[in-house]
Structure 1
Amino acid sequence: MGGPVVDILMYHSISDRGGATSIAPATFAAQMAAIAEAGVPVITLDDYLAAKDGRGTLAPHSVILTFDDGFQDFADAAWPVMAKHGFKPIVYLPTAYIGREEGWRGIAEPPRKLMGWGTIRALAAEGVQFGSHTVSHPDLDALPEDARGAELERSKAVIEDRLGRSIRHFAPPYGIAGPEVRTAIATLYKTSVGTRLGQAGLGDDSHDLPRLEMFYFTDIARWRAHLAGRGAAYLAARKGLRAIKSAVAKPWQGIASGAGR
């Protein structure tokens, strides 16, 4: 990949719950410390867009921190670690579940609690960015056009109303967003991140950005090697396995979609 490389890291729950969508707090802290020690800058999606549009420059290698679903453990376990390092993440919110337990397909047992609006507003004041993850966390590809539009528009409007700021970024539930859905997303949001495994470059489609599932980097030595530019072979192997899984499984089965809840 020519030009700057951006690792868009994908997280969900920072807890000891286990499974592909949970990272243990101690492991998460070690992953963040490795970024700081490697000197890889943590940027925002807006920084990425500015460089893409020629309004800024990026380091040869940088990181963006993303969290799907807005679980309460983001506030309890993830944000204190990132704040210590001065890292600014983005959290994608499914608005119907704010302050409630997760209730969508493939949920963990017992269900995990999402942050309430008071916590979200406090975090926004401290520098956390927020994006939309729809209203009800559906498979957008399976919805008729009017219902899909409502999911995209209402979630944006609710978050903007609650936080008093523009919401520019989106993550489709389960990472599922076909061409028609991506076109609809692009009318409302500046970026969309999915579950496609890979590193982003300035030439990537802003509404089909790849991410790195951090469940694959719980081995801190492997994560340090990646940050040092020695992880190409491992990433290629993971991509190959993901391609095999996606060829034989439904979109919500297996690690590929478990990562996209």
Structure 2
Amino acid sequence: MPGPVVDVLMYHSISGVGGPTCIAPAVFADQMAAIAEAGVPVITLDDLVAARAGGPALPARSVIITFDDGFQDFAETAWPVMKRHGFRPMVYLPTDYIGGVEGWKGIGKPPRPLMGWPCIRDLSIEGVQFGSHTVTHANLNALTPAQLREELATSRREIEARLGRPVVHFAPPYGLANAAVRAAIARHYDTSVGTVLARATDRSDILNLPRLEMFYFTHPQRWRQHLAGRGGAYLLRRKLLRHVREAITNPWDGI
């Protein structure tokens, strides 16, 4: 793979509820410990943008940690673990649901609570970064141009107003963002992450950065093998299985 390689990790909920959008707390803690033990640097999306713009070069290998949806268990369970390791994660927020519970397609049972603004402000002060995950967690591919602008611009304005910080990073719900949507995202944000299962390189589209769904790496040894550079065959197998699954199911069945 040419140039630096970045594993952009994708998480949702850190809890024992079960399902593909939940990672058990003990498993998550072990995944973070494995990163620290392997000595792989944890960088931010700002670092990636700066490197693309000619700033400081990225390490040969690094990790970016991202969370979709802003669940309350991020504050209670995930952040204390990452804080101990000195890791700075990115959390993408669907602004209409802040302080409430998830209410979109594919929700957990029972619906999981999201963090409120006071909690989010405190985390921002402590070093957590926040991006937009739209206003209503909508399928952006299905919206009119006016609705799309509303989802992209309003969410950014609210997060910036609440936190007093620029918001330049985005994650489309369900990973759904066609070419027209990505062009609209580019008018509002510097980066966007998707659900393409791959490692990011300097050739990756910065408006559709691939991520690793960490549900696929809950086995401790498998994750350590990946961090040691010996996980290529497993990742390829997971990608092939996903292609098969997507060919026979509705893409809305994903996360």
TM-score tier, shorter chain, comes to over 0.9
Task: Give the structure 1 partner of residue 127 of structure 2.
Answer: 127
2 CA distance for matches of 1:84 and 1:18? 25
2 CA distance for matches of 1:244 and 1:53? 37
Structure 1 stretch displaced more, 25-34 or 47-56: 47-56
Report matched runs for 1:130-149 at 5 Å.
Answer: 130-149=130-149
Task: Give the structure 2 partner of residue 91 of structure 1.
Answer: 91
Tell me how many residue pairs correspond in the alignment.
Answer: 255
Aligned alpha-carbon RMSD (Å): 0.6
Are 1:15 and 1:24, in contact at CA under 8 Å, matched by a contact in 2?
yes
- Residue 210 (1) aligns with residue 210 (2): yes
Q: CA deviation at 1:240?
A: 0.4
Task: Give the structure 2 partner of residue 223 of structure 1.
Answer: 223
**What percentage of residue pairs aligned between the two structures are identical?**
64
Task: Give the structure 1 partner of residue 10 of structure 2.
Answer: 10
Are 1:132 and 1:169, in contact at CA under 8 Å, matched by a contact in 2?
yes
Task: Give the structure 1 partner of residue 63 of structure 2.
Answer: 63
Q: Partner letter of residue 37 of structure 1?
A: E
1:155-208 per-position Cα deviation (integer Å, ceiling 9, x unaligned): 000000000010000000000000000000000000000111000011211101
Task: Give the structure 2 partner of residue 163 of structure 1.
Answer: 163
Report matched runs for 1:1-261 at 5 Å.
Answer: 1-253=1-253, 257-258=254-255
1:17-65 per-position Cα deviation (integer Å, ceiling 9, x unaligned): 0000000000000000000000000000011111122201111110000
Q: Partner letter of residue 25 of structure 1?
A: P
Are 1:5 and 1:60, in contact at CA under 8 Å, matched by a contact in 2?
yes
1 CA distance for matches of 2:251 and 2:185? 20
1 CA distance for matches of 2:82 and 2:39? 14
2 CA distance for matches of 1:135 and 1:8? 23
Q: Partner letter of residue 165 of structure 1?
A: R
2 CA distance for matches of 1:108 and 1:191? 28
State TM-score, norm by structure 2.
Answer: 0.99
2 CA distance for matches of 1:231 and 1:52? 26
Q: CA deviation at 1:106?
A: 1.2
- SS of the residue aligned with 2:102? coil
Are 1:38 and 1:227, in contact at CA under 8 Å, matched by a contact in 2?
yes
Moved over 6 A (4+): none
- SS of the residue aligned with 1:147? helix
Q: Partner letter of residue 22 of structure 2?
A: S
Q: Partner letter of residue 240 of structure 1?
A: L
Q: CA deviation at 1:127?
A: 0.3
Gap regions ≥5 residues in structure 1? none
- SS of the residue aligned with 1:241? helix
